[in-house]
């Protein structure tokens, strides 16, 4: 019993403890609920206050809330379980109480029974026994009941133990939940801290916002004050304005009245004007009528003027023709200007050629210097960029064909590098027949014509190609080759009927670029080459200048180029210059100087062109001259022999008398002419060797010397310095000629050299024949003297010069020309 009671007490104690735990759990739960409420509230607050709370925090809080809810549910469940256990425990307690009461009752009964027994003992022994037995039985029954109660107690105990175990497990759960709660509490604490930090931040932010708001508020208040002031001001102004507008309205109303009155007046005026306009219209119609009549009269007048203009144009064309004819007669160098087209990659906008006229007018202007204005030039012809090779050739064809009639023709292209000289003279690289330049077309044309005339005239065409490189003349057909070259076509024609011959030469010259060395910025060999080119072109310029000034001295000898072109520039040849122009504005300066040079060239008068035709007489002269030179050779040989014999005689007869010695001395001193004859040939050959490379000119030179050496009357020519090289040779020829003459007479007079007397006789005869023929021919061909400085001899110097240089074609020219092909 005591044990049971103790157990009961223990159980009650345990239950109390459980109750405490439950209470504390409940308390915690309440706290948690409070916390949750607070958290949720705070969260709500934070959500409301701070819209910038991160979604992560929100997620964590939501998760924690959910966990908290789960945790609450579990606690609720445990609470229910605990309530059930409590009710079970209370039932057990109640049962135990009732059992206890029963036991107490039984114990009381037992005590009563014991007292009764004792009483009974005292009362009756038999009865006592029976009673004892019954009591014993009752005790046994009581014992069995106690055993039963014990069993029940055992069962209760086991159930209680189970309940305790369950409670223990629940306690563990509670402990775990408590630990979770602690964790949650720490999380909540952390969150609270964060919340507090956020709150602080928020507070700071809100403080800032508040200060800002207060500032803004202040500003707004200030503005409101300002606006209020402005409003007041505007109200004031409005009032003023209203007052002013009132006065203005009054003014305008008054004005309106005045205007209405004015409009009324104007309407009246308009009506008057309408009436006037009607009368004007009538007048205008009348005027129109009159004008139409006048216009009809003017149309008729215009017709007359148009006719006059047409006639004027015709007269202009006629003038141009006449001008060309005059130029032809004067022998002006023809100048054709050709403007090349813009090449791919060049800017067609930067064109320096402003205008190209039909009659050879050209206006050059620099678009970058508009102020300067255009520069006008006039040439025989200006070919624009679209002119084809064929069109160019068609224009110069008659000139080229005149070579077949015995004229010397020179066509040369002048201009800066890249201006199209080679294109005009040769054509482009790998040219098609359509693109052929002057060279190919000229040769082709000359061959075709000579073929067509073969029944009447036989032509012998020889071609020579030379190049002047660094003042050296190279025969290009003999070997080597070059892009830039001096082509010469020699044409010798013989009339099959009359036997008359003609000799013409066509020089086609592609000059080097005319730009200045200092602008080309080259060095070394290229500089040397450029300097030579410049020297040649400068020499050409000097020759042109001298010719245009009609100077007595023309410096042909200053360069190989001018020597080569001497017969074309100074002789009675037909000369044409292509002045090539690059239209690009970057070449403006070069173009300008090129055109100025060309203008000067066009002013050069070479004299009337002469054909190199040889009649029978000239042919005789040529033959006689050939004989003469042969005889001269024979005489000089004989002279040498005589001299040798004399020397031999002097050395072997030292013992001869003084008379004999005097005679020998007299003989030797009276033979300078013989020495001079040797000089003649040496002068001739010297001249020839000097210009061996250019045989044409040198041949003429030696020939001139030869001619003059046998003609004492030609002494005047020796003074003519205008022909440079010719005059040099003439001088030599002149002196030697005089000497030759005296030597011839001395030889004839002395008659000592019997072996050569026959030859000398023939020589004398030949000389007199040549003199006669030459004088006759020359008087027929004599040109007008070019310069008054040139002595005008009784024997015509110009004629002789002409005869020697032009009238009679060079004896070795053909041979040199033939040297090429
Ligand atoms: N009338 C033209 N039509 C078409 N192309 C042209 C014409 N004239 C020149 N050209 C072209 O312009 C370029 C330069 O011409 P070209 O070589 O004939 O000049 P150049 O004066 O001979 O130069 P350089 O002095 O350097 O030899 C070439 O490509 C040539 O084909």
Residue 499 beta carbon below 6 angstroms from any ligand 1 atom = no
pLDDT at 740 over 80: no
Q: Looking at residue 390, what is its pLDDT?
A: 95
> Which of 416, 420, 424, 591 should be mutated for ligand 1, with most atoms under 8 A from CB?
420
> Which of 338, 339, 340 should be mutated for ligand 1, with most atoms under 8 A from CB?
340
Q: Looking at residue 180, what is its pLDDT?
A: 85
* Residue 87 is assigned to a ligand binding site: no
Q: Looking at residue 19, what is its pLDDT?
A: 60
Other Cβ atoms within 10 Å of 524 Cβ, number: 7
Q: Looking at residue 653, what is its pLDDT?
A: 65
Q: Looking at residue 399, what is its pLDDT?
A: 86
Looking at this predicted complex, what is its ipTM? 0.98
Residue 513 beta carbon below 6 angstroms from any ligand 1 atom = yes
376-403 residue pLDDT tens: 999 989 999 999 999 999 989 988 888 8
Please indicate whether residue 673 or residue 421 has the higher confidence score (pLDDT): 421
* Residue 421 is assigned to a ligand binding site: yes
443-471 residue pLDDT tens: 999 999 899 888 888 888 888 777 777 77
Query: How far from 11 is each of 3, 6, 8, 109, 778, CA to CA, in Å?
Result: 12, 8, 5, 27, 177
Domain ranges of the chain: 2-234, 331-350+389-602, 615-818
Q: Looking at residue 338, what is its pLDDT?
A: 96
Residue 423 CA to residue 413 CA, distance in Å, equals 10
Q: Are residues 494 and 821 in contact, defined by beta-carbon separation less than 8 angstroms?
A: no
**What sign does the CA torsion over 794, 795, 797, 799 have?**
positive
> Is residue 630 very low, low, confident or very high in pLDDT (cuts 50, 70, 90)?
confident
* Residue 419 is assigned to a ligand binding site: yes
Residue 554 CA to residue 565 CA, distance in Å, equals 12
pLDDT at 255 over 80: yes
Q: DSSP secondary-structure letter at 785?
A: P
**What sign does the CA torsion over 656, 659, 662, 664 have?**
negative
Residue 685 CA to residue 687 CA, distance in Å, equals 5
What's the CA-to-centroid distance between 573 and ligand 1, angstroms? 28
Q: Looking at residue 499, what is its pLDDT?
A: 81
The CATH H-level superfamily of 331-350+389-602 is Kinesin motor domain (3.40.850.10)
Mean pLDDT, all residues of the chain: 71
Q: pTM value?
A: 0.45
Q: Are residues 194 and 57 in contact, defined by beta-carbon separation less than 8 angstroms?
A: yes
Q: Looking at residue 217, what is its pLDDT?
A: 87
> Which of 391, 423, 587 should be mutated for ligand 1, with most atoms under 8 A from CB?
423
764-811 residue pLDDT tens: 665 555 555 444 443 333 333 333 333 333 322 222 223 222 322 222
* Residue 417 is assigned to a ligand binding site: yes
Measured by CA distance, the residue closest to atom 11 of ligand 1 is 420
Q: Looking at residue 675, what is its pLDDT?
A: 29
* Residue 415 is assigned to a ligand binding site: yes
Residue 377 beta carbon below 6 angstroms from any ligand 1 atom = no
Residue 403 CA to residue 688 CA, distance in Å, equals 26
Q: Tell me how far apart the terminal alpha carbons of the chain are, to the nearest angstrom.
A: 165
Residue 711 CA to residue 774 CA, distance in Å, equals 9
Residue 556 beta carbon below 6 angstroms from any ligand 1 atom = no
What helix, strand, coil percent values describe the chain, rounded to 5? 70, 10, 20
> Is residue 728 very low, low, confident or very high in pLDDT (cuts 50, 70, 90)?
very low
> Is residue 542 very low, low, confident or very high in pLDDT (cuts 50, 70, 90)?
confident
Q: Looking at residue 165, what is its pLDDT?
A: 86
Residue 418 beta carbon below 6 angstroms from any ligand 1 atom = yes
What's the CA-to-centroid distance between 380 and ligand 1, angstroms? 22
DSSP SS3 for 715: helix
Query: pLDDT exceeding 70 applies to what percent of the chain?
Result: 65
pLDDT at 358 over 80: yes
**Which residues are 381's β-sheet partners?**
336
The mean pLDDT of 462-487, rounded to a whole number, is: 67
Q: Are residues 412 and 336 in contact, defined by beta-carbon separation less than 8 angstroms?
A: no
Q: Looking at residue 682, what is its pLDDT?
A: 26
* Residue 480 is assigned to a ligand binding site: no
Measured by CA distance, the residue closest to atom 26 of ligand 1 is 417
Please state the φ and ψ torsions of residue 407, each to the nearest 5 degrees: -90, 150
The mean pLDDT of 1-22, rounded to a whole number, is: 60
Please classify residue 407 by burial: count the beta carbons closer than 10 Å to its beta carbon, then call 0-12 exposed, 13-18 middle and 19+ buried: buried
Residue 485 beta carbon below 6 angstroms from any ligand 1 atom = no
Please classify residue 246 by burial: count the beta carbons closer than 10 Å to its beta carbon, then call 0-12 exposed, 13-18 middle and 19+ buried: exposed
Residue 737 beta carbon below 6 angstroms from any ligand 1 atom = no
* Residue 86 is assigned to a ligand binding site: no
* Residue 416 is assigned to a ligand binding site: yes
What's the CA-to-centroid distance between 545 and ligand 1, angstroms? 28
Q: Looking at residue 595, what is its pLDDT?
A: 93
pLDDT at 342 over 90: yes
Secondary structure (H, E, C), 155-199: HHHHHHHHHHHHHHHHHHHHHHHHHHHHHHHHHHHHHHHHHHHHH
Q: Looking at residue 665, what is its pLDDT?
A: 41
What's the CA-to-centroid distance between 423 and ligand 1, angstroms? 5
Please state the φ and ψ torsions of residue 457, each to the nearest 5 degrees: -135, 135
Please indicate whether residue 715 or residue 30 has the higher confidence score (pLDDT): 30
Q: Two tokens at 310?
A: 């047409």
């Amino acid at each position: 019993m005591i044990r049971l009671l103790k157990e009961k007490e223990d159980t009650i104690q345990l239950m109390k403890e459980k109750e405490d735990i439950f209470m504390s759990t409940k308390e915690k739960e309440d706290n948690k609920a409070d916390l949750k409420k607070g958290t949720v509230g705070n969260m709500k607050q934070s959500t409301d206050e701070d819209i910038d709370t991160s979604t992560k925090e929100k997620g964590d809080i939501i998760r924690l809330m959910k966990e908290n809810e789960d945790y609450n549910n579990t606690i609720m469940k445990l609470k229910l379980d605990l309530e059930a256990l409590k009710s079970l425990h209370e039932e057990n307690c109640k049962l135990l109480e009732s059992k206890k009461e029963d036991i107490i009752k039984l114990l009381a009964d037992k005590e009563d029974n014991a007292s009764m027994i004792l009483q009974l003992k005292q009362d009756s022994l038999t009865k006592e026994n029976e009673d004892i037995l019954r009591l014993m039985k009752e005790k046994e029954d009581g014992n069995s009941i106690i055993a039963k109660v014990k069993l029940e107690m055992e069962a209760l105990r086991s159930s209680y133990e189970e309940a305790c175990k369950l409670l223990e497990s629940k306690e563990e759960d509670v402990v775990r939940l408590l630990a979770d709660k602690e964790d949650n509490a720490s999380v909540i604490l952390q969150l609270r801290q964060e919340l507090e930090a956020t709150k602080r931040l928020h507070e700071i932010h809100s403080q800032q916002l508040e200060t800002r708001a207060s500032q803004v508020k202040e500003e707004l208040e200030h503005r409101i004050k300002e606006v209020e002031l402005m409003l007041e001001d505007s109200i004031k102004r409005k009032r003023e304005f209203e007052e002013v507008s009132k006065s203005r309205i009054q003014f305008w109303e008054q004005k309106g009245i005045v205007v209405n009155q004015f409009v009324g007046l104007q309407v009246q005026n308009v009506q008057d004007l309408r009436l006037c306009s009607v009368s004007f219209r009538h007048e205008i119609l009348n005027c129109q009528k009159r004008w139409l009549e006048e216009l009809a009269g003017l149309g008729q007048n215009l017709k007359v003027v148009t006719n006059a203009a047409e006639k004027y144009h015709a007269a202009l064309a006629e003038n141009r023709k006449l001008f060309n004819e005059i130029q032809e007669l004067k022998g002006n160098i023809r100048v054709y200007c050709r403007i090349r087209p813009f090449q791919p990659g060049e800017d067609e906008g930067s064109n320096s050629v402003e205008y190209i006229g039909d009659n050879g007018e050209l206006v050059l202007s620099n678009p970058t210097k508009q102020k300067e204005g255009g520069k006008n030039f006039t040439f025989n012809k200006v070919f624009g960029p679209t002119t084809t090779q064929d069109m160019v050739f068609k224009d110069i064809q008659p000139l080229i064909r005149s070579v077949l009639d015995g004229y010397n023709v020179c066509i040369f292209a002048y201009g800066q590098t890249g201006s199209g000289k080679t294109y005009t003279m040769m054509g482009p690289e790998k040219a098609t027949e359509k693109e052929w330049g002057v060279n190919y077309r000229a040769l082709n044309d000359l061959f075709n014509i000579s073929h067509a005339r073969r029944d009447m005239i036989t032509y012998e065409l020889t071609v020579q190609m030379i190049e002047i490189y660094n003042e050296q003349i190279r025969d290009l057909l003999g070997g080597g080759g070059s892009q830039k070259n001096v082509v010469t076509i020699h044409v010798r024609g013989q009339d099959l009927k009359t036997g008359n011959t003609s000799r013409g030469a066509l020089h086609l010259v592609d000059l080097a670029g005319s730009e200045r060395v200092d602008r080309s910025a080259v060095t070394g060999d290229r500089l040397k080459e450029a300097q030579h080119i410049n020297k040649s072109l400068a020499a050409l310029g000097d020759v042109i200048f001298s010719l245009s000034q009609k100077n007595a001295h023309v410096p042909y000898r200053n360069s190989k180029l001018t020597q080569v072109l001497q017969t074309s520039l100074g002789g009675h040849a037909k000369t044409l210059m292509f002045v090539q122009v690059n239209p690009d504005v970057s070449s403006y300066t070069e173009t300008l100087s090129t055109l100025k040079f060309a203008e000067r060239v066009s002013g050069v008068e070479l004299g009337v062109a002469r054909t190199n035709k040889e009649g029978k007489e000239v042919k005789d002269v040529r033959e006689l001259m050939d004989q003469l030179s042969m005889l001269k050779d024979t005489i000089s040989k004989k002279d040498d022999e005589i001299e040798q014999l004399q020397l031999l005689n002097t050395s072997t007869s030292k013992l001869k008398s003084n008379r004999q010695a005097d005679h020998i001395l007299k003989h030797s001193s009276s033979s300078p002419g013989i020495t001079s004859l040797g000089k003649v040939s040496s002068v001739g050959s010297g001249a020839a060797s000097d210009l061996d490379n250019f045989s044409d000119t040198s041949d003429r030179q030696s020939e001139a010397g030869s001619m003059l050496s046998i003609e004492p009357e030609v002494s005047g020519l020796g003074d003519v310095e205008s022909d440079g090289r010719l005059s040099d040779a003439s001088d030599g020829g002149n002196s030697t000629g005089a000497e030759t003459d005296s030597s011839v007479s001395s030889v004839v007079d002395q008659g000592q050299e019997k072996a050569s007397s026959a030859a000398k006789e023939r020589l004398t005869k030949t000389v007199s024949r040549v003199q006669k023929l030459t004088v006759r021919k020359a008087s027929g061909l004599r040109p007008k003297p070019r310069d008054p400085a040139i002595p005008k001899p009784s024997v015509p110097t110009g004629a002789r010069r002409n005869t020697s240089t032009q009238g009679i074609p060079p004896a070795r020219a053909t041979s040199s020309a033939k040297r090429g092909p």
